Amino acid sequence: MSAKADIGRVYSAVSEAAGLLDIPCSHDRMWPALTAFQDVIASPLVFNMVTSGGHIGEMSFDFMMSPSAGDPYAHALAHGLVEETDHPVRGLFPDIQARLPVQSFGVDYGITRGFNKAYAFFPLSDLQGLARLAEIPSMPRALSDNAGTFAAYGLDDKVSAIAIDYRRRTWNVYFNGLSAEHVGRTTVLPMLREFGLPEPSERMLDFIETSSALYPTFRWDGTKTERISFSTRTTDPAALPARVEPQLEKFARSAPYTYEGDRVLVYAGALSPGEEYYKLAAYYQMAAEAHDRVRAAS
C-alpha cells in the first residue's frame, strides 16, 4: 500500500466483501474512517468475520499502521471516530511502545459498529516474554496472575501481540509459533480445564490440532479467562471449520484479494463457557511479514 491509501479502491473492496455476507456497508459510516486513516493505512489489509449458531455476526475491516503513526485509539480520537475515556485501558499501548519493540499497530474497524479494537504487534523474530510484559505498569493483572499457567504449557516466551477491545473493555494476549505439542489433545485439554473452560467438541479438537496460535480473552479488571481462541493459516477454503460452517466457506472462496497466488485465510475456533464458534479472516492485501503471522479476530 502506498504512503497514501487509495481509499476509493479499498472502500469498493470492503463493500464487495460485506455484500457476500449480506451485511450493509454504509458509505457514510465507512468513508470518515478511511479518510481518517488514509495516510497511515499499511498492509496487510484483512476482512474479518464471525459466525455463531449458524448466523453471521459483524464483519470488520482490519489494517496495519506503522508504529511511527502512534496509538491507533489516539489517531481515531483525533478524527472524531471515538470518544475520550479516562479508563486505564488508554495507557497500555503508549506504555508498551515506550518499553518494547513494536513492529506495527493494527486496527479492527467494524462495518456497522465502528472502531472496535487495536493491536500492538511485536516482531516475529523477537517474540516477547511474559515476565517482561508483566513489568509494564498499565498491564492488566490477568497477565501476571495467569503467567504461571501459560509458562507451564510452554507459552512464556511466545507472545506476538497484545490487543485491546475498547468497546467491551476486554483484551487479548496472542501466542504464536506453536508446535504440534502445544496444540495436541494431551496438552490442550488439561490447559482448558485449568482455565475453567469446557471440553471442546470433537470437531473443535480436530481443528485445534491444526492451529499454530492461540489467544485468551480477559476482562480488563478480572483475571478469569473469558474464552480461548485457536487459529491457523491456510489457502484451502474447504479446510476446517469451513466445511462445518457453509457461510464461512462461501466467504472464503469469494472474498476479494489483490496479490498473486491463492487467497490467504486464517480460520479461528473460539471456546467460551457457554459456546464454541468459528471465525475467518481473509487477506485482501498482503505484506511480506504477514505470511508468517497468524492474525485472527477476537
- What pLDDT band is residue 242 in, cutting at 50, 70 and 90? low
pLDDT (tens digit per residue) in 178-206: 999 999 999 999 999 999 999 999 999 99
Residue 104 lies in a domain: yes
Residue 116 lies in a domain: yes
Q: What is the pLDDT of residue 96?
A: 96
The answer, yes or no, to whether residue 1 has pLDDT greater than 70, is no
pLDDT (tens digit per residue) in 66-85: 999 999 999 999 999 999 98
**Do the beta carbons of residue 88 and residue 256 sit within 8 Å?**
no
pLDDT (tens digit per residue) in 118-156: 999 999 999 999 999 999 999 999 999 999 999 999 999
pLDDT (tens digit per residue) in 246-273: 777 889 999 999 999 999 999 999 999 9
**Do the beta carbons of residue 252 and residue 266 sit within 8 Å?**
no
**Do the beta carbons of residue 285 and residue 255 sit within 8 Å?**
no
pLDDT above 70 as % of the chain: 92
**How many structural domains comprise the chain?**
1
Cell of residue 201, nine digits = 467438541
Residue 297 lies in a domain: no
pLDDT (tens digit per residue) in 22-50: 899 999 999 999 999 999 998 899 999 98
Q: What is the pLDDT of residue 261?
A: 94
Residue 2 lies in a domain: no
Residue 1 identity (one-letter amino acid)? M
The answer, yes or no, to whether residue 293 has pLDDT greater than 70, is no
Residue 298 lies in a domain: no
Residue 242 lies in a domain: yes
Rg (CA), the chain: 18
Residue 256 lies in a domain: yes
Q: State how far the alpha carbon of 261 is from the alpha carbons of 89, 212, 252, 286, in Å.
A: 40, 22, 14, 11
The answer, yes or no, to whether residue 294 has pLDDT greater than 50, is no
Q: Which residues contact 4 (CB under 8 A, 6 or more apart)?
A: 38, 39
Which residues span the domain enclosing 274? 7-292
Mean pLDDT of 85-112: 93
Mean pLDDT of 50-70: 84
pTM of the model: 0.93
Mean pLDDT of 6-21: 94
Residue 47 lies in a domain: yes
